Amino acid sequence: MKTVFVLNGPNLNLLGLREPGIYGASTLQDVEQLCEQAAQRNGFALRFHQSNHEGELIGWLHEAGALRREGKLAGVVLNAAAYTHTSVALMDAIKGADVPVIELHISNVHAREAFRHHSYIAPVARAVMCGLGVQGYSLAIDAVAQCLHD
């Protein structure tokens, strides 16, 4: 059974509390349950993580790369949150780990502040999904499964 990583960046531990008008009322625990259901539906094991620390996200991407080289990784769903717009280090980690990544955002970042329109992740991602609320996580896991068949 292949594994799908779902990695969440800074402040996503505040889902359900932080700006519910933008991010909705679901908590990160709700999102994890949604992802578990999507992973099971697609025959994947789930690794679900959140960190407010860039280096920890990079470590998980490196771990995903090692699993991919062993044939054990399906792909990564990455909601890098604010790091999307600032982190060359995450972009380099994705390239170095050579993992298929679906970049995900709960809100439509293109309908928000101008600084959110640029992504360092998008050029190295297999696809970018945004604006679908937390349901986007389930759809992104489905997209990982689809990428295996492409």
Q: What pLDDT was estimated at residue 115? A: 62
**Residue range 20-58, pLDDT digits in tens:** 777 778 999 999 999 999 999 999 999 999 999 999 999
Kindly state the average pLDDT of the residues 53-74.
98
Q: Which amino acid is at 113?
A: E
The span from the CA of 23 to the CA of 21, in Å, is 6
- Distance in angstroms (rounded) separating the CA atoms of residues 3 and 39: 8
Give yes or no for residue 81 having a pLDDT over 90. Answer: yes
pLDDT tens, residue by residue, 7-22: 999 999 998 988 777 7
Catalytic residue positions, numbered: 23, 105
H-state helical runs in the chain: 20-23, 28-41, 54-69, 88-97, 135-149
Cβ(83)–Cβ(10) under 8 Å? yes
Residue 81 vs residues 14, 67, 105, 107, 140: alpha-carbon distances, Å:
12, 24, 7, 10, 15
> What angle do helix axes 54-69 and 88-97 make, rounded to 10 degrees?
10
CA dihedral of 73, 118, 115, 63, whole degrees rounded to 10: 20
Look at the block and give the residue holding tokens 């998980």: 60
